[in-house]
A = this chain, B = another copy of it.
Amino acid sequence: MQTLKTGILKALRTVYDPDLKKDLVSLGMIDDLLITNATISFTIILTTPACPLQEFMKQACIQAIRKEIKKELEIIITTIAKVTSSRPPAAILPEVKNIIAIASGKGGVGKSTVATYVALSLANHGARVGLLDADIFGPSIPTIWNCEREKPAVFKQNGKNFIIPLERHNVKLLSIGFVANSQEAIVWRGPMASAALKQLIQDAYWGVLDYLLIDLPPGTSDIHLTLVQTVTVTGAVVVTTPQKIALIDAIKAIAMFKKEQIQVPILGLVENMSYYFSNKEKIGTPHYIFGKEGGKKLAEQQTIPFLGQIPLLPIICEQGDVGISSNKTIAPFDTIAQILAQQIAVRNAIYQPTEIVKKSY
């Protein structure tokens, strides 16, 4: 039996996690190895339930074992996920494993849309997900999630009031739009907006989360600075459309996160509104209304992981307007969510924890 176990572990040491570039045994990803007369069973501990390599790794393990062990035993592999974290023990939001900023520079490129479907997708895979709308002047989350008229509950703990985020389709949601009148304008200077964001972050009861997505406003100003000065941000996703006018602002967003005083790793770039397919054409060819592959090329230039393209789909716009009514995601977003989850795991494994940005900045 002992030699069988040794053999199996030897086999599994030849299986590499393609992202982390180490073998599964050294990474501590193999657990509960059990050998009976007829079966070998073990668990692979993944770094995210949305791991796109799940099936690939299972098959690689089976092949490696079959090669090493000649005995015909049934191999039973279970996968579980323990989402990793690189956030240092933090005073603020310590129970949140990963804080992911969704940014763009330019407005209207699809930050809120990407944040929404990625959140849905991660939750569908079983992750505990929160979505914080940090767009104080143009909050879209209440509309997209069809809870414009909802008010979050409040509870008191140790004399302090906490907001309880709403929950829809297993995603926890918070937005200034839940507390402000949507017909009115919040005409505030920066400090007021920053104070509002801080309250949404500090005074909310999120509980344990694997991923908290932060839907940022356009620009590179108060809200962005307040965010990185208030919590340690695991990484940022940059959303852009293909045209130069949007790319220029995406470059600015990337430059902001890379600034020496800020240093938030960029987890990847999403190209939205990439092309349009007419349903009225016999032979569908893509219409590049906003130009071709601008985002993809930018990701290459800046050596940022490219998370994928999203076509112009009337259904995306429609669902954004009437509000999503189920947890159904849309194909390209699901792939993007998986690659992102993977990139977060890579980031947590290989980069230093992000530090809080100094207030003086």
Instruction: With A143-B245, A276-B289, A321-B291 as known contacts, state yes or no: A137 contacts B255, CB within 8 Å.
Output: no
Shortest C-beta distance, A16 to chain B (Å), equals 37
Across the A-B interface, the 5 shortest Cβ-Cβ residue pairs: A107-B107, A108-B108, A190-B190, A244-B321, A137-B219
Give A108 to B291 CA distance when docked, in angstroms: 15
A189 interface contact, C-beta 8 A: yes
Q: Which residues of B contact A218 (CB under 8 A)?
A: 107-108, 137-138, 217-219
Q: A-side binding surface: helix, strand, loop or mixed?
A: loop
Segment with Cβ contacts to B, from A5-13, A167-175, A277-285, A344-352 = A277-285
Interface size class of A (residues with CB under 8 A): 35 or more
Point out which of A109, A112, A220 has the most chain B C-beta atoms below 10 A from its C-beta: A220
Establish whether residues A187 and B225, one from each chain, have CB atoms under 8 Å apart when the complex forms.
yes
A59 interface contact, C-beta 8 A: no
- Those of A135-160 within 8 Å (CB) of chain B: 137-138, 140, 143-144
**Of the candidates B108, B189, B221, which one forms a contact with A106 in the assembled complex, judged by CB atoms under 8 Å apart?**
B108
Q: Which residues of B contact A191 (CB under 8 A)?
A: 190
A34 interface contact, C-beta 8 A: no
Q: Which residues of B contact A314 (CB under 8 A)?
A: 287-290
Instruction: With A112-B245, A137-B220 as known contacts, state yes or no: A252 contacts B184, CB within 8 Å.
Output: yes
Establish whether residues A243 and B321, one from each chain, have CB atoms under 8 Å apart when the complex forms.
yes
A27-67 to B contact mask, C-beta < 8 Å, 1/0: 00000000000000000000000000000000000000000
Establish whether residues B220 and A186, one from each chain, have CB atoms under 8 Å apart when the complex forms.
yes
Shortest C-beta distance, A118 to chain B (Å), equals 17
A105 interface contact, C-beta 8 A: yes
Find the B residue at minimum CB distance from A218.
Answer: B107
Establish whether residues A187 and B259, one from each chain, have CB atoms under 8 Å apart when the complex forms.
yes
Q: Which residues of B contact A245 (CB under 8 A)?
A: 112, 140, 143-144, 320-321
Establish whether residues B108 and A190, one from each chain, have CB atoms under 8 Å apart when the complex forms.
no
A213 interface contact, C-beta 8 A: no
A253 interface contact, C-beta 8 A: yes
A19 interface contact, C-beta 8 A: no
Q: Which residues of B contact A108 (CB under 8 A)?
A: 106-109, 218, 241, 246
A249 interface contact, C-beta 8 A: yes
A1 interface contact, C-beta 8 A: no
